């Protein structure tokens, strides 16, 4: 069972962490960029400059940790409530989106600085490699999604009625993600072009996010509602087990990220 819980990708199946406003997606993107940077033939000077950029970014983001924890605690309380309070959830997510916008701007500027530390040849290789990685990751995500469902069913010991309700939820969530996929892809392209420009345009970057704010808010609230509904089909014992699964998943993601950051620091200083 322990191995099952560790390997269970609950967040990706039900968007459980979605109300954290793409936190998992953001961390995964950062990890991918670090992996790509490590594959380039960086000079010692480039390594030192990039290392300094990352350290400064980490320091700049530190001021948001307390607010982020407060948001997580608030959302946890709302998710555990007996009645769904859409207004309270929407207000909490909207406030978090404003906070997240500032931290994402810091990250975007950091990526811009790193990208412009590269030569034109390295930049071209970075873009090509990143495209190849996206294709590979996409193929991996589409492989055997039913296995995740089977693991969740087994881990929580769901009865037939619970399984049927879970299937309806995941099907609805998948349909929504598919409907928004093209627009989200276009937004990512716009943001990537801003990051890769010679000069970072704050106004252009903020404008892209402003144009898609309502859609992102709507998606985040819907995903939070999915989690609330998920919790409400579980009994007390299953809820407790589900919370442990989430904690293990989050802790594993943090450890994985910390390990990759440490390895990158070793690579840059070598």
Tens of pLDDT, residues 197-246: 999 999 999 999 999 899 889 989 988 998 898 888 888 888 888 888 77
Q: Does 92 have pLDDT greater than 80?
A: yes
Structure tokens at 68: 């982020």
Percent of the chain topping pLDDT 70: 73
Q: Does 114 have pLDDT greater than 60?
A: yes
Range of lowest pLDDT (44-48, 115-119, 172-176)? 172-176
Comparing CA positions, the residue from 225, 202, 221, 201 lying closest to residue 213 is 221
Q: How long, in residues, is the chain? A: 270
Comparing CA positions, the residue from 167, 172, 138 lying closest to residue 150 is 167
What gap in Å lies between CA 67 and CA 72, rounded to an integer? 9
**pTM, rounded to two decimals:** 0.71
Structure tokens at 59: 């320091």
Q: What is the SS3 assignment for 195? A: helix
Q: What share of the chain is helix, strand, coil (3-state, %, to 5)?
A: 85, 0, 15
Place of tokens 């001021």: 63
Q: Which residues contact 264 (CB under 8 A, 6 or more apart)?
A: 34, 37, 38, 54
The pLDDT, as a whole number, for residue 33 is 65
Q: Where are the domains of the chain?
A: 47-260
In our burial notation (b when 16+ CB lie closer than 10 A, e otherwise), range 235-269 reads eeebbebbeebbeebbeebeeeeeebeeebeeebe
Structure tokens at 40: 């380039």
Q: Does 12 have pLDDT greater than 60?
A: no
């Amino acid at each position: 069972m322990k191995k099952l819980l560790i390997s269970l990708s609950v967040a990706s199946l039900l968007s459980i962490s979605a109300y954290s406003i793409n936190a998992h997606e953001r961390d995964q993107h950062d990890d991918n960029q670090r992996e790509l940077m490590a594959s380039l033939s960086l000079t010692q000077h480039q390594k030192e400059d990039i290392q300094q950029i990352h350290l400064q970014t980490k320091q700049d983001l530190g001021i948001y940790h307390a607010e982020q924890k407060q948001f997580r605690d608030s959302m946890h309380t709302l998710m555990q409530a007996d009645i769904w309070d859409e207004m309270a959830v929407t207000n909490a997510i909207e406030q978090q989106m404003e906070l997240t916008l500032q931290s994402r701007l810091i990250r975007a500027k950091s990526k811009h600085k790193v990208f412009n530390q590269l030569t034109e040849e390295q930049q071209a290789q970075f873009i090509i490699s990143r495209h190849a990685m996206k294709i590979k990751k996409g193929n991996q995500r589409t492989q055997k999604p039913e296995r995740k469902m089977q693991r969740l069913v087994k881990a929580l010991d769901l009865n037939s009625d619970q399984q049927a309700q879970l299937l309806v939820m995941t099907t609805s969530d998948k349909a929504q993600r598919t409907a928004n996929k093209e627009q989200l892809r276009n937004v990512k392209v716009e943001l990537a072009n801003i990051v890769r420009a010679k000069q970072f345009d704050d106004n252009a970057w903020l404008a892209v996010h402003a144009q898609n704010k309502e859609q992102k808010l709507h998606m985040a609230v819907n995903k939070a509602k999915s989690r609330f509904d998920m919790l409400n089909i579980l009994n007390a014992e299953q809820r407790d087990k589900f919370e442990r699964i989430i904690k293990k998943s989050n802790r594993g993601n943090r450890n994985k990220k910390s390990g990759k950051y440490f390895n990158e620091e070793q690579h840059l200083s070598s």
